[in-house]
Amino acid sequence: MKEILKEKSAATFYRMVMAQIQKYDENFSKLSLYFQKTGTGDRLKIDKPHFACCVDALPNRKSDYDESVTWTHEGKTYCLYLEFTPKDLETAFIPKFNVAYANVFSIEKNAGEYILLSLQQDVGEAMDENDQPDKIQLKANFEQKIFFGAPGTGKSFKIDDPEKGYGLKDVDESRKFRTTFHPDYDYAQFVGAYKPKKELNNTTNKEELTYSFVPQVFAKAYAAAWRSYLKGNKEDVFLVIEEINRGNCAQIFGDIFQLLDRNGKGFSDYSIDIDSDFADWLRTDSKDGLQKVWKEYINFRYKKDDEEICPASETKIALPPNLNILATMNTSDQSLFPMDSAFKRRFDWEYVPIRYAKDSDCGDDWKADEFKIVIGDSMYMWLDFLKKVNADIYDATQSEDKQMGEFFIKPKSDDLKIAFNEFRSKVLFYLWDSVYKDETERQAVFHFPYGDGDGKINSVTFQSLFGKDAEAIVNKIMENLKVEKVTA
């Protein structure tokens, strides 16, 4: 870790950081994931603060902008807005920056000063030695990234989508390997283990119990990537981990964790020793292992800083540059098995936001703005409800973790209408169980009184949604949240 910049003024520090980072990332492609257009698209913001303006649409007060730092975003050239306040910097810019450049840079505040740190020594040195806008390529073209956000924001879809994501939908099955972590998932299920199986003995013509290494998703992806790399086509291989934080990552990855440190060439910086059964499988399996490229594998060398490196051997493994590891994480589940900072640092992080309206990042199949909730004779737009209930969730929890994404529920019918039973059993149960069950002070969604006389309910609970007044109570929830009724 190396200190690159230090400055007390928020606005000055912000300008210095952007000028320095542009040497590494010309168009702020990592940070651009958080850019939001305002108005006609001539201005950009990050959360609430005004961040940049299109050069062709600068107002008369050009002194408010820095035209020396310009970049291209979606076909337009933008320059920096200068009046960044400490609040803008600390609540909007720095959190997004530290996620966008998690493997490379970090911004901290200490004793009233803002500090830009380099997390990779060679990057810091390169930037210090060269004060010109040369673009520094940090790493080979591999991805090691976690997509995170509220449940239902389309994180898995982003991985699969050929237009707006990584296009795994169109990748051949032999080059993609998918698994889902859960609380009981372990190293043997991830890598492989010695297991018994029955085989026919040709001499006795009887089935006998034998033991052999049974590879799992990591071992298969690892071998597939090296086979492709050594055959010369170097096609990307993808290991996709759904719900990565629902499993104990330290237990599941074990010493494979060490392989996640990767150098500028894309290979693991450090190789690890593997069990003899795993090594034997790599060497002898002709279908899924490395038997057909074994000599090339153990003799492979590459140069790094004039040094010849042998990444793997008969008993050691190291990741090749064409092995990509992509994962998804629901923020609502992050308390199951918290990840330590060392594990987090080895991944890039991309936030997948909740979308309350269709925008340029939505594919043609994005139809959440057409979803309607049907409650008896009443109908409501799903996104109107979502926006208002998410605001109430934030007020109740002071956190975005329990909010829902636009695809938390999908209509089962072609008319894009969400039936009452589906809405009650999936959405309202989630709200009761995850947010409002113990939150009795707020009375918009649950815990409000309903009715009068003998049938009066003093405090509406989830159980209340299964009585004779169920639909009327849910309509009252919509009224409390100020969700407008719509017509068919």
**pLDDT averaged over the chain?**
86
Statement: residue 177 has pLDDT above 80: yes
Statement: residue 390 has pLDDT above 80: yes
Mean pLDDT value of segment 425-429: 96
Domain range summary for the chain, segments of one domain joined by +: 2-129, 144-351, 368-480
Angstrom distance (rounded) from CA 325 to CA 317:
16
Statement: residue 69 has pLDDT above 90: no
pLDDT (0 to 100) of residue 147: 92
pLDDT (0 to 100) of residue 336: 61
Q: Is the dihedral of CA 194, 198, 204, 205 positive or negative?
A: negative
pLDDT (0 to 100) of residue 398: 85
Each residue's pLDDT tens digit, 236-249:
999 999 999 999 99
Statement: residue 125 has pLDDT above 50: no
Mean pLDDT value of segment 57-86: 79
Cβ contact 168:240 at 8 Å: yes
Angstrom distance (rounded) from CA 222 to CA 232:
16
Mean pLDDT value of segment 439-463: 87
- For the chain, what percent of residues have pLDDT higher than 70? 92
Sequence-distant (6+) residues with CB within 8 A of 5 are 13, 16, 17, 20, 114, 115, 116
Cβ contact 99:92 at 8 Å: no
Q: Which amino acid is at 232?
A: G
Angstrom distance (rounded) from CA 381 to CA 153:
17
Q: Which amino acid is at 165?
A: G
**pLDDT tier at 120, thresholds 50, 70, 90:** low
β-pairing, 2-7 vs 113-118, is: antiparallel
Q: Tokens in use for 132?
A: 């010109």
pLDDT (0 to 100) of residue 132: 28
Tokens 């008993």 sit at which residue?
A: 315
β-pairing, 43-45 vs 2-7, is: unpaired
Cβ contact 31:97 at 8 Å: yes
pTM more than 0.85: no
**pLDDT tier at 129, thresholds 50, 70, 90:** very low
pLDDT (0 to 100) of residue 124: 45
Q: Tokens in use for 311?
A: 């990444």
Statement: residue 343 has pLDDT above 60: yes
Residue 196: CB atoms within 10 Å? 9
Looking at the domain 144-351, which fold is it? Rossmann fold (3.40.50)
Statement: residue 403 has pLDDT above 70: yes
Statement: residue 60 has pLDDT above 90: no
Mean pLDDT value of segment 449-469: 88
Angstrom distance (rounded) from CA 189 to CA 217:
8
pLDDT (0 to 100) of residue 335: 54
Cβ contact 239:325 at 8 Å: yes
Each residue's pLDDT tens digit, 263-280:
888 999 999 999 999 999
Residue 47: CB atoms within 10 Å? 13
Q: Which of 41-45, 62-66, 250-254, 460-464 is least confident?
A: 62-66
CA of 71: how far to CAs of 47, 52, 78, 121, 385, in Å? 20, 10, 6, 26, 37
pLDDT (0 to 100) of residue 46: 82
pLDDT (0 to 100) of residue 418: 96
pLDDT (0 to 100) of residue 48: 66
Mean pLDDT value of segment 67-91: 82
Q: Which of 97-111, 130-144, 185-199, 359-373 is least confident?
A: 130-144
Higher per-residue confidence, 81 vs 144: 144
